[in-house]
Amino acid sequence: MDDNSGSTAPCAGLRIGDAAPDFAARTTAGDIRLSDFRGRWLVLFSHPADFTPVCTSEFVALVRRSHEFDTRNCALMALSVDSLFSHFAWLRMIRDHFDVEVRFPIIEDPTMVIARGYGMVAPGDSDSAAVRTTFFIDPAGTIRAISCYPANVGRSIGEMLRTLDALQAVDDCAALAPADWQAGEPLLSQPLAALDDVYAAEAATEWFYRPGLRRGDK
């Protein structure tokens, strides 16, 4: 998929477990390809427009916690329909007013080819007003989680980090992350899959609800 192709990509409606479609794009950090990020985690997120209040608050918050993504071997990449020069002007305003520098790449997507290809906007939409979607992509290039917020509600940076922690933790030991799980807390083991084990369990829930597994356990 190429952001300068001028046609709607055929991969709208991506789901968890799909391969993240590759693309080439011009960004505030130079020309990039999505596949350049293989080997590390990537959070690809879209925002409706530059110079908007909610998006500005998100970018400031992300920069201030960007080191927390770095320590998790995770890169950040943003996307909007605005031009590269609009991005530059907005980032200059953010730096001058909030004293933070946005260094992660922001893609320009004026034709919305990438946004449509990722299902961030519907094929018939004429603008990106409803776009605030986040894709968590693993080092192999697989989409592992997707979140979507309306334009008037900002993301939780803490929840983005929690989701990333949970994805990495369950990969480490083929475990399950329970509700409200936080890094360092016990995980759940996979349910037992043999009838003899089910009948042999001392408690009725012991075969399927098995807390206590720690990250890195086998």
Instruction: Give the span between the Cα atoms of 68 and 157, in whole angstroms.
Output: 10
- Pairing mode of beta strands 106-108, 74-80: parallel
* Count of Cβ atoms closer than 10 Å to residue 22 Cβ: 13
Alpha helices in 174-212 (DSSP H): 195-200
Enclosing H/E stretch for 135: strand 133-137
Distances in Å between the Cα of 184 and the Cα atoms of 43, 135, 181 are 22, 24, 9
Q: Which of 55, 74, 148, 173 is catalytic?
A: 55
Is 148 part of the annotated catalytic residue set?
Answer: no
Question: Measuring CA to CA, which residue among 155, 185, 142 is closest to residue 45?
Answer: 155
CA Rg value for the chain: 20
Query: Which stretch of DSSP H or E encloses residue 158?
Result: helix 157-173
Measured CA to CA, the distance from residue 133 to residue 55 in angstroms comes to: 12
First-to-last alpha carbon distance for the chain, in angstroms, is 39
Query: Which residues are identified as catalytic?
Result: 55
